[in-house]
């Protein structure tokens, strides 16, 4: 990396919300013989405001171009880290063409933090996992003095909290993002509440356990809201915001091959028709004969929340036969289109859920310390935070029944089976 490039990256880091320094850098790269890197910056800058808009006509085109460019050059752009275990955790995250964040296990950060910031000096945010019971190593990382935002993707203990509150590097951070699971009283924010420590800037709680996953959703929300209010009062802040990923709107496009039909019915409300498969296996999705079919209709209000559901009488043909779609049009005035839905579960068992079951088990129980390096860890305990974070970052959710669920790509709104 040349001194001139470092100057460009310093300007980008100093103006994180402005695309102008990035596009100026793209022009410079093209003039100096790196047209693909320049194109990648321009593509990501255009894509960023519509990345989560599968209904936007340009989004799919830009995502495809982004993938082609990154797949072609990822080793070159990531640099030395592509040849270490760092990349097995998660590469630096490129936003609007520049690596400005990274997700990493603590052990890997300790080994490679110098290389990370040498090759990607614009990084301002870190998400760190695998730190429970080991925060003494975290606070010694020089990286904490170089970033503006730290997300702790793990369940630090009360002893960890004590270590963090005594560390100047932790106390100076402008922004903290802290996870809260089912055991609210065992979360890091709850541990911090019992100390005299005060943050230097913004603190945001991420509530993972809630929505249809929780046994009592209202109680789960109330417990985290109460914690946020007490933290704000303790720290003298106007508020401590709570982010609830499960309370988002999720896009869905029908897929007749999977027995899913989305659109609008005669009264204009969003509707989902789902045919329960006989089974899903490596050969595909298998539907029962018409006499044994199980069709569920779910109608949603303008906010994407479930309004009603029922089980229509099955027609004479099931997906992927086009006669089924024709029957929907004749019976319900069905018009296929993308719809935006919130989590739900119907009496028939059909449901939309943010989390897959194996992820819920990682935050719906009291936290366990991260095993020391070299020790055997139950269910890859040291990487639980990574799995949860990647599920959110990649934009998946699940749709289906308890026995048969599809994954859905939130960026495209399309369901698929593994």
In the prediction, which pLDDT does 221 show? Answer: 97
Q: pLDDT band at residue 321, thresholds of 50, 70 and 90?
A: low
Are 82 and 214 part of one and the same domain? yes
Are 198 and 91 part of one and the same domain? yes
Are 149 and 270 part of one and the same domain? no
In the prediction, which pLDDT does 80 show? Answer: 80
Are 243 and 260 part of one and the same domain? no
Are 223 and 311 part of one and the same domain? no
In the prediction, which pLDDT does 11 show? Answer: 96
The whole-number average pLDDT for the span 182-190 is: 92
What is the DSSP track for 311-329? Answer: -PPP-S--TTSHHHHHHHH
pLDDT exceeds cutoff 60 at 88: no
The whole-number average pLDDT for the span 172-190 is: 94
Beta-bridge partner residues of 101: 93, 125
Does residue 148 sit within a domain? yes
In the prediction, which pLDDT does 375 show? Answer: 46
Going by C-alpha positions, the residue among 181, 166, 167, 189 that lies closest to residue 213 is 181
Are 238 and 266 part of one and the same domain? no
pLDDT exceeds cutoff 60 at 56: yes
In the prediction, which pLDDT does 288 show? Answer: 72
Query: How many domains are contained in the chain?
Result: 2
Does residue 345 sit within a domain? yes
pLDDT in tens, 322-369: 778 888 999 999 999 999 999 999 998 999 999 998 899 888 766 555
Q: Which of 47-51, 114-118, 286-290 comes out lowest in average pLDDT?
A: 286-290
Does residue 16 sit within a domain? no
In the prediction, which pLDDT does 119 show? Answer: 92
Does residue 89 sit within a domain? yes
Give the list of residues 6+ apart from residue 68 with CB closer than 8 angstroms, or none. none
pLDDT exceeds cutoff 60 at 371: no
Contact 319, 279 (CB under 8 A): no
Q: Exposure of 352 by Cβ count < 10 A (0-12 exposed, 13-18 middle, 19+ buried)?
A: buried
Q: Which of 82-86, 93-97, 148-152, 197-201 comes out lowest in average pLDDT?
A: 82-86
Of 209, 230, 247, at which residue does a domain stop? 247
The DSSP code for 289 is P
Are 212 and 257 part of one and the same domain? no
Does residue 25 sit within a domain? no
Q: Which ranges in 333-374 belong to alpha helices (H)?
A: 357-363
In the prediction, which pLDDT does 377 show? Answer: 43
pTM: 0.89
Reading the block at residue 25, the tokens are 């850098």
Are 294 and 239 part of one and the same domain? no
Q: Phi/psi class of residue 398: alpha, beta or left (left: φ > 0; alpha: ψ in -120 to 50)? A: beta
* Cis peptide bond prior to 320, omega within 30° of 0: yes
Are 204 and 135 part of one and the same domain? yes
Contact 388, 180 (CB under 8 A): no
Of 221, 247, 273, at which residue does a domain stop? 247
Q: pLDDT band at residue 376, thresholds of 50, 70 and 90?
A: very low
Does residue 125 sit within a domain? yes
Going by C-alpha positions, the residue among 95, 154, 150, 86 that lies closest to residue 118 is 86
pLDDT exceeds cutoff 50 at 212: yes
Are 347 and 215 part of one and the same domain? no
Please give the C-alpha separations between residue 78 and each of 7, 82, 320, 395, in angstroms, as whole numbers: 19, 6, 43, 22
Does residue 159 sit within a domain? yes
Are 73 and 119 part of one and the same domain? yes
CATH of the domain at 89: 3.20.20
In the prediction, which pLDDT does 390 show? Answer: 87
Are 72 and 151 part of one and the same domain? yes
Instruction: Reduce the DSSP state of residue 86 to 3 states and report it.
Output: helix
Of 201, 218, 247, at which residue does a domain stop? 247
Give the list of residues 6+ apart from residue 322 with CB closer than 8 angstroms, or none. none
Average pLDDT, the chain: 89
pLDDT in tens, 219-254: 999 999 999 999 999 999 999 999 999 999 999 999
Residue 165: give the domain boundaries: 68-247
In the prediction, which pLDDT does 372 show? Answer: 53
Does residue 124 sit within a domain? yes
pLDDT exceeds cutoff 80 at 161: yes
């Amino acid at each position: 990396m040349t001194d001139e490039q470092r100057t460009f990256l310093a300007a980008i880091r100093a103006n994180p919300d402005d695309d102008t320094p990035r596009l100026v850098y793209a022009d410079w790269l093209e003039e100096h013989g790196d047209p693909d890197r320049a194109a990648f910056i321009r593509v990501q800058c255009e894509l960023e405001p519509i990345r989560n808009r599968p209904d936007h006509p340009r989004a799919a085109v830009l995502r495809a171009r982004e993938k082609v460019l990154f797949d072609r050059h990822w080793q070159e752009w990531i640099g030395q880290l592509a040849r270490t275990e760092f990349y097995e955790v998660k590469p630096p995250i490129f936003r609007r063409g520049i690596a400005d964040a990274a997700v990493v296990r603590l052990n890997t950060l300790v080994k490679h933090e110098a290389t990370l910031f040498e090759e990607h000096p614009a990084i301002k945010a870190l998400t760190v996992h695998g730190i429970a019971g080991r925060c003494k190593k975290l606070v010694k990382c020089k990286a904490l003095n170089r970033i503006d935002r730290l997300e702790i993707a793990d369940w630090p203990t009360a002893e960890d909290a004590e270590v963090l509150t005594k560390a100047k590097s932790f106390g100076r951070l402008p922004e903290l993002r802290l996870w809260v699971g089912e055991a609210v009283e065992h979360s890091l924010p709850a541990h911090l509440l019992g100390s005299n420590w005060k943050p230097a800037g913004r603190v945001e709680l991420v509530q993972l356990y809630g929505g249809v996953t929780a046994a009592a959703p209202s109680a789960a929300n109330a417990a985290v809201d109460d914690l946020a209010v007490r933290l704000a009062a303790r720290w003298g802040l106007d508020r401590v915001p709570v982010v609830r990923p499960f309370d988002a709107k999720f896009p869905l496009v029908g897929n007749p091959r999977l027995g899913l039909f989305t659109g609008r019915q005669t009264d204009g409300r969003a509707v989902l028709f789902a045919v329960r498969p006989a089974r899903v296996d490596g050969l595909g999705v298998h539907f029962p004969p018409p006499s044994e079919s199980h069709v569920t209709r779910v109608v949603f209000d303008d906010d994407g929340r479930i309004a009603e559901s029922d089980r229509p009488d099955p027609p004479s043909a099931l997906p992927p036969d086009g006669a089924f779609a024709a029957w929907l049009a004749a019976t319900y005035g069905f018009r296929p289109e993308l719809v935006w839905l919130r989590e739900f579960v119907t009496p028939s068992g059909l449901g939309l859920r943010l989390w897959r079951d194996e992820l819920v088990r990682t935050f719906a129980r009291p936290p366990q310390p991260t095993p020391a390096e070299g020790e055997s860890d139950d269910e890859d305990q040291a990487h639980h935070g990574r799995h949860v974070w990647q599920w959110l970052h990649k934009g998946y959710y699940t749709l289906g029944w308890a026995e048969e669920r599809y994954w859905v790509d939130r960026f495209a709104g399309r369901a698929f089976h593994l």
